[in-house]
Amino acid sequence: MGNEEANSSPQKLPFVCNVHNLDHWIRLLLISLIPPTLFGTWAVGVYSFVFAEKDLNVLREFYNSTLSLTGYMKFCFQMPRAMRIVSAGVSCLVPIIFTSCLFSFITDRIFSNWRKRAKSNWWIVTGLLFALAMPPTIPIWMVAVGIIFGTIFGKEIFGGTGMNMFNPALVARCFLVLSFPGNFCGNVWIAPTVRSVQASILSMDALQNSDTVSDAISGASPLGQLALTKEVLKDHLEAIAYYIRPDLITPSGTWKNIFNRWSRLNKISKSFDQLSIVELESFLTSHPTNFGLGLDKERFIHTIHMAKLYLGEPPYTTLSLLIGARPGCCGEVGLIGPLIGAFILLWNQIASGLIMVSIWISACLSFLIFKWIASIQQGTDMYAKYVIPLQVHLMTGSLAFGSIFFATDPVSAPCDRFAKIIYGGLIGFLIILVRLKSSAFKEGVMFAILIGNVFAPILDIIALELRLLIKRYRSRRSEWIKNQ
C-alpha cells in the first residue's frame, strides 16, 4: 500500500493540475502549433516568390488574387509555381526553427545537468514559439543569441521549467527587438533578405508606368502602415481613399473645400478622382498656405497603403488578413492558423479560453474608447490610425498568435478564474495603448504579455483574498441570520 501511494505522486517538475502529464501536454501544444507553422511557411513562400520575380505584372496578379479565395488558389497552385512557393517557405523557416530548437535544447540540458534535475522536453515548445515569432529575414546567429538569452534570463534564472515568471520565448524576442530594432522594421517581413526585397521594389518601381495608386509597392507589414502617429491625419487618409474608391467614400467638407481652392490656384479643372497620381501627390503634400493638405512627401506612399488597409483593397483584403497573404512574422500571419491551434488547445483543455476572450474583448473596448477620446480632443485633425476599422486591428499583428500561445502559458499566467479575466483585460488594453500611442513601437503584444506576467502572481493573491473575504462575509451573515 505504501509503495502504491509513493508511486501515485508525480516525480517530475512542473506539477500540473490536469489529467494530462507534462509530456502529453507538450505533444498537444506542438500539435496546436502545426497549423500556424504551415500557414506561416506558405505565406512566407508566397511573398518570397512574388518579390523574387521582380515582375510588376506578377505583383499585380497576386494583389488581385487576394480578392477571392478561388483567385488566390488559382494564382498559387500553378505548377511549377506551387513548388517554388513551398521551397521558398521551407528554405526560410526550417533553418530558423532548427537553430532555435537546437540552442534551446543545448541551453536547457546544460542547466538541467548543472542543477541535477529531471529533464523535460519543454525546450521544443520554447524553441518553436520563438522561431514563429521571428521575421523571415532574421539572421541565424541572432536566432541563436536570442533563444539562449531568453532561456537563461526568462526561465533558468528563476529555477528552470515550471518556475519561470516570464515566457522565455517572449523574453528572447524582447531582447532582440530592443537590441537590434532594425531587424524588426521596414522590409524585413519578406524573405529571403532585406536587400533582395529592396532591389525588387526598386526594379518594379522603375518598370511601372501607371497613373494610378494601385501599383504602390511596399514590403512593410500592415502594422507598419499604421505606425505613422502624427504624420498622417484623417483628411489625408480619406482623400486618398476617396481617390481610390469614390463610390464608397463620402468626401469630407474640410479637405474638399481646400481642394477647390488648390485647383483654382493651379488652374486644374479636373474632378478629384480624375487627378493623375502626380497631381494627387502635389495636392496632398503642398503646404497649407498653398491650399494643400500638408502631408510629408516621404509619407505619401505609406498613406496610400494605409488607405488600402482602410478600404480593404489588395493586398490588404479581408481574405488576405485571414489566410495570411500579407507580410509579417513567420507564425503570426493570418487568423486561420492560430484559430485552428486555439481550437485544439481549448478542446483538450490545455489553454484558458477566459484569457483569450478577455484579451480580445478588452482590445475592442480599448480601441473604441481611444477613438472616442481622439475624436473629442483632435476633431477634424484626428490621426488616421484611429479611422482604421476595428476588425483590421484585430486581424493584423500578433494579437491572435500572442493571445492564444503566449498569454495562456500555464506557468506565467494566473490560475484563478477572476485573475485570468483581469489579466487578459490588462493585456488587451496595453496592446491597443502601445499601437495607438507609442511612437517607438508598432506592436504592443510582446510588451503587454510580459507586463501581464509581472502582475499574474499579484492578481492570484488579490483574487484569493477576495474569495476569502466573500466567504467570511457569507459565514458571518448566515450566523447573524440564525441569531435573529
| Residue-wise pLDDT tens digits, 245-292 | 888 887 776 788 888 888 888 888 888 878 888 888 888 888 888 888
Sequence-ordered list of residues with C-beta below 8 angstroms from that of 234, at least 6 positions apart, any chain: 252, 380, 381, 382, 383, 384, 386, 387
Q: Mean pLDDT of all residues in the chain?
A: 81
For residue 383, the cross-strand partners are 233
DSSP assignment, residue 466? H
Alpha helices in 300-416 (DSSP H): 300-311, 318-323, 336-347, 353-378, 390-395, 399-401
Say if residue 297's pLDDT is above 50: yes
What pLDDT, on a 0 to 100 scale, did the predictor assign at position 451?
Answer: 92
DSSP assignment, residue 235? H
pTM of the entire predicted model? 0.83
Could you give the CA distance from residue 153 to residue 125 in angstroms, rounded to a whole number?
A: 17
Could you give the CA distance from residue 174 to residue 253 in angstroms, rounded to a whole number?
A: 44
Could you give the CA distance from residue 117 to residue 212 in angstroms, rounded to a whole number?
A: 64
CB contact burial 222-242 (16+ within 10 A = b; e otherwise): bbbbbbbeeebbbbbbbbbbb
Instruction: State the burial class of residue 441 (Cβ atoms within 10 Å of its Cβ: 0-12, 13-18, 19+).
Output: middle
Least confident of 15-24, 169-178, 257-266, 344-353: 15-24
Q: Which three cell numbers stand for residue 247?
A: 463610390
How confident is the model over 221-235, as a mean pLDDT?
A: 66
Sequence-ordered list of residues with C-beta below 8 angstroms from that of 390, at least 6 positions apart, any chain: 364, 367, 368
Instruction: State the burial class of residue 340 (Cβ atoms within 10 Å of its Cβ: 0-12, 13-18, 19+).
Output: middle
Q: How confident is the model at residue 182 (pLDDT cuts 50, 70, 90)?
A: confident
Q: For residue 66, give Cα distances in angstroms to 61, 73, 244.
A: 9, 9, 17
Q: How confident is the model at residue 330 (pLDDT cuts 50, 70, 90)?
A: confident
DSSP assignment, residue 119? -
Q: How confident is the model at residue 32 (pLDDT cuts 50, 70, 90)?
A: very high
Peptide bond just before 222 cis, omega within 30 deg? no
